[in-house]
A and B are shown apart, each in its own frame.
Chain A
Amino acid sequence: MLLIRCPYCEQELPEIEFRNAGEAHVARPPDIANENDADFEKYFFIRTNPKGIIYERWRHVHGCARFFNAARDTVTDRFLLTYKAGEKKPKKLPGAGKQ
């Protein structure tokens, strides 16, 4: 069981309090009703599914109940950073690339 740092609770807490919520930084288009098919496909269906660093959403569902974002390495299953919902995608990650 992983430990995940909740940016709202400001501490590392056991994984079973959390739930993954899919890829992060996929913003719902403001005028979604008028999106063309290609753009809607990109927004709704296409995900990066990287081998390596993924930016994803988590919810501290059995804790403070907040959604937040995380950068996780899908190879090592390590969390490199967690940050609050609405914050920009970080440019630099601590310890990225380390095993």
Chain B
Amino acid sequence: MTISFRLANAGRLGRAKSVRFSFDGKEYAGVEGDTLASALLANGVHLVGRSFKYHRPRGILSAGAEEPSALVGIHRDAERKTPNIRATVQELYEGLNAVSQNRWPSLSFDAGSVSDLASPLLSAGFYYKTFMWPKVAWKSLYEPKIREAAGLGVAPDLPDTDHYSARYAHCDVLVVGGGVAGLAAAFAAAETGARVILCDEQADLGGALRYEQGATVDGQPGWEWAQATVAKLAAKDNVRLLTRTTGFGYYAQNFVGLVERLTDHLAQPSPDQPRERLWQVRAKRVVLATGAIERHMVFGDNDRPGIMLASAARAYLNHYGVAVGRQVGVFTANDSAYWAAVDLKKAGVNIAAIVDTRDNPSGRAIEEARALGIELNLGRTVIRTNGRLRVSSMVVQAKKGGPERTIPVDALLMSAGWTPSVHLFSQSRGKVAFNKTTNRFVPGDYAQACVSVGACNGTDGIDPSVAEAFAAGEKAAREAGAKARKLSRPKAETSESWSRGMAGAAPGAGADAKSKAFVDFQNDVTAKDIRLAVGQGMRSIEHVKRYTTNGMATDQGKTSNLHGLAIAAETLSKTMPEVGLTTFRPPYTPVTFGAIVNHSRGPLFEPTRKTPMHDFAVARGAVFEDVGQWKRAWYFPQGGEDMHRAVDRECVTVRKAAGIFDGTTLGKIEVVGPDAAAFMELLYTNPWQKLDPGRCRYGIMLREDGFIYDDGVVGRLAEDRFHVTTTTGGAPRVLNHMEDYLQTEFPHLKVWLTSTSEQWAVIAVQGPKSRDIIQPLVEGIDISDEALPHMSVRTGKFCGVPTRLFRMSFSGERGFEINVPSDFGRAVIEAIWKEGQKHGACMYGTEAMHVLRAEKGYIIVGQDTDGTVTPDDAGLSWAVGKKKTDFVGIRGMKRPDLLAKGRKQLVGLKTKDPKTVLEEGAQIVADPRQAIPMTMIGHVSSSYWSENCGRSIALALVKDGRSRMGETLYVPMPDRTIEVEVTGTVFYDETGARLNG
């Protein structure tokens, strides 16, 4: 039976429903509205984790997003185990299962805590010093051991079953932060009719009103005013309220990233509900109302469980109704901690003492504490604490030293002051300015259309904050185009003032102090570490940060940065602004990969493009390969064939009878206009003006550098209309390249380009029987060799649907490519297949297509060329119009190096052993006995087993290749050297007789 620290007469959760949860296997009860942290504290549990480096027991420091210590794993089920969740923001739900991290074998006894005893070895920069050598020890010893001992939670080992969504949103005014300032700003902006988005990381809006007991707005208690304002905003069509939503990144031109948590607080989320939603907001104006974060005091052993921020204790009391202890001490340099003591005392909790480093503090806070009979120790300091798994006492001493006094406590509240949250402002590239009077960094010069209001702007006091925020909200809306309206602002009152305080180590935590005074709890960085870093030569705060890792943990130093800076500045005898502030970078708090990836996973990771004949190929048993985003039929195995046998059969069948092939993925561009031929002349090396309508030509496209960029068969459909084909992968970039020249270099040409890649399904029928197969299906086109010779195109009907019928070949056989409107591709290939079977035809895939074209020495751009191959290198000089005076690449081709001797030229290779198939990419040498590294004179670009040739065949780019015909060259491999003979590039039907039937 655990003792309850829930107070009957405190907080707002009242008689809320009880909620069961477990922590490290032990069952507890909390109430609806609790966070995991408040529920644990209600059960008297302070110890929740072990620290990163020293494995020291750690508790709950805060009540919000800045939490560095209370990190736990939340295990929803086997798939959904989320590590490093801040217990202070995790809302409780029925059955929540939390586990502590970074401890073995148990939280209360952690074997790793010996590293605390070994801590002299683990001082600042130990990463850089201790493990320098021997080098091999890194992999085998240091890294695995460090990884085991250090690190935070354990990454989940199964795929995440949750889903995540995303939304682009636009608004006039985005307000980040829903405390009193944010609400006032949003309300003012919304009243003008502007489109407003208000987001806040908490489940409820209200910010510090959650715990600031004495504040009133428009005569209402602050929290009640906040909830009433929320209701008013929620009722407006022009307002989008996003709770549980963190503004994590501020990018260019008021583009702000928000992440909304939708299900992490639910016991039984609907499977349709995304876990998180990424909002990408474009706002005309941004109002930052991100508040301030309380700093801890830096003193000896300030990290024991039970030691926490004063504002946190106040939130646990005033909102959750939880007392963080029964005998509570306070250590402060600031007024605001007094209010925590006052509230606790009034709720019946004993305040052991307030220790204040200030000699003569005055004001309402101090007076009230005195009036309540709380013991005040002014001008004193806490030099260390005692306790093993929880603080048991604090040791108090005068600032200048002297006798020590030990005061028993079971909780210790601290406040060094408040740090304005300038994270998003700084991310927006705004420059922070240091305010000497208040000793803090506040927004200075703005870089974007945004404004900071309230505590994040260094504005003290609730009424000035409301006034500033209200005016800023109205102004932002007006600047975004909304009409000005006369509005009266809410009036707020409070007795509290939170300004001032201190930064750096408390008196007594100086250089000679023995115990550890933590600056950064999450990365276990102490005041001593920072002094050491400075002592070892670090001068810039960026160097100190990286050397000590101060502020580099998942909390990004929300509580520690300013302390670290103050200690470094003091050690360097400089002012804080002279040492400088480290850069704030997104994200403000950790963002899941799920939210960043959102919809783009599984089938939406990347579009999968399928041709209209895809299902037909599936039905024929095709194995597919990925070609860019396309799925292409690779080969069609029959009766248990492996790939090689299937490809051999397909290749032989094409040459003996015929084969049917899906060529849809080829890019197609329609070039239309009276200047179409003139444009083609400029974009391709070939001459086009004299190509008759109805005829085709193999075209080569260069870049201006003279290298081959793409190729394809082009058919002239009419005087003013060309049907251009491109490689599959080249389709988008070729169109872009053509558009670029047309729009910017040749805009005088009357011609337009349209992609028709997906208008047409393309079915290639290749082989001696191809004409017989398609003959019965063709209407209105004479497909005889005389009427439709090789490299011709006609329009007509095929299976009754419109077609562009090409007589062309990429196999060296008589061949046709039948273009039909895409939606008919499936039906037409079925019809062709039906005819084809009568003639012994087969389906063939991309692999057989590659082999067949290699047998004929036809290149594939991107395989036999690599962006440094000229038409001449590829043996394609014949395709360059000799009389042409201009085309893209004409000048590049004439560069001296491209004309010089010794260029790699495309040749064929035959292995001396016909059964040996070379590896594509293998290097070629002239003398295999030379010393390594050998002089490489070329490489294999294409290599296959050719069943039709009864031997292996290969294409290669070899230095001066065409003058080496008949030479023997060598391909050194790891296990042997392969002898090859240089040959021409055509291995089959050298005269080309078969093309013409």
Residues of A within 8 A of B (CB): 1-3, 14, 21, 27-28, 32-33, 35, 37, 40, 44, 57, 59, 61, 65-67, 77, 85-86, 99
Q: In the complex, are the beta carbons of B885 and A33 less than 8 A apart?
A: yes
Using CB atoms, name the residue of chain A closest to B252: A2
Task: Using known A-B contacts A33-B885, A57-B744, A59-B736, determine if residue A3 contacts B253 with beta carbons closer than 8 Å.
Answer: yes
Residues of B within 8 A of A66 (CB): 743
Beta-carbon contacts under 8 Å, B330-376 to A: none
The 5 lowest CB-CB distance pairs between A and B, nearest first, are A32-B891, A67-B743, A33-B890, A28-B745, A3-B253
**Nearest chain A CB to B687 CB, angstrom units:** 15
> Which B residues between 393 and 435 are near A, CB-CB below 8 angstroms?
none
B252 / chain A contacts, CB cutoff of 8 Å: 1-2, 77
Looking at the complex, which one of A14, A32, A33, A85 makes contact with B747 (CB distance below 8 Å)?
Answer: A85
B739 within 8 A of A: yes
Chain B residues within 8 Å of A99, by CB: 447
- Cα-based distance from A44 to B892 in the complex (angstroms): 9
Residues of B within 8 A of A (CB): 251-253, 255, 280, 282, 447, 704-705, 736, 739-740, 743-745, 747, 885-886, 890-892, 894-896
Complex CA–CA separation, A2 to B255 (angstroms) = 8
Residues from chain A with Cβ under 8 Å of B744 in the complex: 57, 67, 85-86
Q: How far is the CB of B682 from chain A (nearest CB, A)?
A: 10
Q: B734: shortest Cβ distance to chain A, in Å?
A: 14
Residues of A within 8 A of B280 (CB): 1
| Residue ID in chain B nearest A24 by CB atoms | B744
Residues of A within 8 A of B736 (CB): 59, 61
Interface pairs (20), CB distance under 8 Å: A1-B251, A3-B253, A14-B282, A27-B745, A28-B704, A32-B886, A32-B890, A32-B891, A33-B885, A33-B890, A35-B891, A37-B896, A44-B892, A59-B740, A65-B739, A66-B743, A67-B743, A77-B252, A85-B743, A99-B447
Taken together as a complex, chains A and B put the C-alpha atoms of A32 and B253 apart, in Å, by 41
A5 CB to nearest chain B CB (Å): 11
Q: Determine whether the beta carbon of B704 is less than 8 Å from that of A3.
A: no
Task: Tell me the bound Cα distance from A28 to B739 in angstroms.
Answer: 15
B896 and A21 within 8 A (CB): no
B894 / chain A contacts, CB cutoff of 8 Å = 33
A85 contacts across to B, CB distance below 8 A: 743-744, 747
List A contacts of B747 (CB < 8 A). 85-86
User: How many contacts between A and B, using CB within 8 angstroms?
Assistant: 50
CA distance A37 to B743 in the complex (A): 27
Other-chain contact of A2, B253, B704, B739, B890 (Cβ < 8 Å): B253
Complex Cα distance, B409 from A79, in Å, reads 60
Cβ A40 vs Cβ B886 within 8 A: no
Q: How far is the CB of B738 from chain A (nearest CB, A)?
A: 12
Contacting residues, chain A, for B890 (C-beta < 8 A): 32-33
Q: Looking at the assembled complex, report how far the CB atom of B621 sits from the nearest CB atom of chain A, in whole angstroms.
A: 38
Q: Kindly list chain A residues whose C-beta atoms are within 8 Å of the C-beta of B885.
A: 33
Within the complex, which residue of B282, B447, B739, B895 is in contact with A40, where a contact is CB–CB below 8 Å?
B895
Q: How far is the CB of A35 from chain B (nearest CB, A)?
A: 6
How far in angstroms is the closest Cβ of chain B from A65? 7
Residues of A within 8 A of B896 (CB): 37
Which residues in A have their C-beta under 8 angstroms from that of B251? Answer: 1
Compute how far the CA of A3 lies from the CA of B116 in the bound complex, rounded to whole angstroms: 52
For A35, what are the chain B residues with a Cβ–Cβ distance below 8 Å?
A: 891
- A19 nearest CB across to chain B (Å): 8
B740 touches A21 (CB 8 A): yes
Chain A: which residue is nearest B251 at the CB level? A1
State the CA gap A77–B447 with chains docked (Å): 12
A33 and B253: CB pair below 8 A?
A: no
**Complex Cα gap A3–B170 (Å):** 12
Contacts of A67 in B (CB 8 A): 739-740, 743-744
Provide the residues of chain A in CB contact with B253, threshold 8 Å: 2-3
A40 to B447, CA, bound (A): 42
Complex-state Cα separation, A65 to B755, whole angstroms: 12
A4 to B673, CA, bound (A): 32
Query: Complex formed: what's the CA distance from A14 to B170 in Å?
Result: 12
Q: Complex: how many Å from CA A40 to CA B894?
A: 11
> Please, which residues of chain A bring their CB within 8 A of the CB of B891?
32-33, 35, 40, 44
A35 to B736 Cα, complex, angstroms? 26
Residue contact B895 to A37, C-beta cutoff 8 Å:
yes
> A27 — which chain B residues lie within 8 A by C-beta?
745
Q: Which residues of A contact B705 (CB under 8 A)?
A: 44
Nearest CB of chain B from residue A33's CB, rounded to whole Å? 5
Q: Which residue on chain B has the smallest CB distance to residue A27?
A: B745
**In the complex, residue of chain A having the shortest beta-carbon distance to the beta carbon of B884:** A33
| Given known A-B contacts A32-B890, A35-B891, A1 and B740 have beta carbons under 8 A apart | no
Measured between beta carbons, the chain A residues less than 8 angstroms from B745 are 27-28
Most buried by B among A33, A40, A61, A85: A33
Closest CB in chain B relative to A58 CB, distance in Å? 12
In the bound complex, residues from chain A placing their C-beta under 8 Å from that of B739 are 59, 65, 67
A28 to B746, CA, bound (A): 10
Q: Tell me the minimal C-beta distance from A88 to chain B in angstroms.
A: 14
Establish whether residues B255 and A1, one from each chain, have CB atoms under 8 Å apart when the complex forms: yes
When C-beta atoms are compared, the residue in chain A nearest to B890 turns out to be A33
Cβ-defined partner of A3 (8 Å) among B282, B447, B743, B886: B282
CB distance from B745 to the nearest CB of A (A): 5
**Which residues of the partner chain B approach A3 to less than 8 Å between Cβ atoms?**
253, 282
**Roughly how many angstroms separate A44 CA and B251 CA in the complex, as a whole number?**
35
Q: How far is the CA of A9 from the CA of B53 in the complex (A)?
A: 57
The chain A residue with its CB closest to the CB of B893 is A33
Tell me the bound Cα distance from A1 to B736 in angstroms: 23
| A27 smallest CB distance to B (angstroms) | 8
Interface contact A33-B743, CB-CB below 8 Å: no
Cβ contacts under 8 Å, B895 to chain A: 37, 40
Q: From residue B91, how far is it (CB to closest CB) to chain A in Å?
A: 32
In the bound complex, CA of A14 to CA of B169 (Å): 12
- B635 CB to closest chain A CB, in angstroms? 36
Closest CB in chain B relative to A69 CB, distance in Å: 9
Min C-beta distance of A39 to chain B, whole Å: 9
Docked pose: A61 CA to B894 CA in angstroms: 32
On chain A, the residues within 8 Å of B743 by CB distance are 66-67, 85
CA of A20 to CA of B447, assembled, Å: 24
Report the separation of the CA atoms of residues A1 and B704 in the bound assembly, to the nearest whole angstrom.
32
**B431 to chain A: closest residue by CB:** A99
Smallest CB–CB gap between B334 and chain A, Å?
36
Contacting residue for B886 out of A1, A21, A33, A37, CB 8 A: A33
- Known A-B contacts A32-B886, A37-B896, A66-B743; the reply to A44 vs B447 at CB < 8 A is no
- The distance in angstroms between the C-alpha atoms of A14 and B747, with both chains bound, is 27
Docked complex Cα distance between A35 and B885 (Å): 12
Q: For residue B746, give the distance in angstroms from its CB to the closest CB of chain A.
A: 9
Q: Give the docked Cα–Cα distance between A77 and B885 (Å).
A: 41
Starting from the known contacts A28-B704, A40-B892, A67-B744, 10 additional A-B residue pairs (CB-CB under 8 Å) come to A3-B253, A27-B745, A32-B891, A40-B895, A44-B704, A59-B740, A61-B736, A66-B743, A85-B743, A85-B747
Cα separation A37 to B895 with both chains bound (whole Å): 7
A33 to B886 CA separation, bound complex (whole angstroms): 6
